């Protein structure tokens, strides 16, 4: 409910989490998006999720070109 922040996409999981970036810092945002995409594509995301949450992720990460 803080007007300084806004949600910029649909949730990809049932847990309410996100990553905040300084306004206009598209380089950092893009680097994080690439890292998340690579984690998902390699299977490492699923392995980490399984390790820390004890189950497979229920919703895949959406990838965009």
Q: Could you tell me the residue ranges of all domains in the chain?
A: 22-54
* Helix pair angle (26-42, 44-53), 10° resolution: 80
Q: Return the pLDDT at 59.
A: 67
Give the helix ranges, DSSP H, for the chain: 26-42, 44-53
Q: For the chain, percent helix, then strand, then coil, each to nearest 5?
A: 40, 0, 60
pLDDT at 38 over 80: yes
pLDDT at 42 over 70: yes
pLDDT in tens, 21-33: 999 999 999 999 8
CA of residue 18 relative to chain centroid, distance: 7
**Residue pair 21/6 in contact by the 8 Å Cβ criterion:** no
């Amino acid at each position: 409910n803080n007007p300084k922040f806004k949600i910029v996409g649909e949730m990809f999981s049932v847990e309410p989490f996100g990553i905040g970036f300084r306004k206009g810092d598209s380089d950092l945002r893009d680097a994080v998006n690439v890292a998340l995409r690579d984690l998902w594509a390699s299977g490492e995301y699923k392995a980490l999720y399984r390790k820390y949450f004890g189950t497979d992720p229920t919703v895949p990460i959406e990838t965009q070109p």
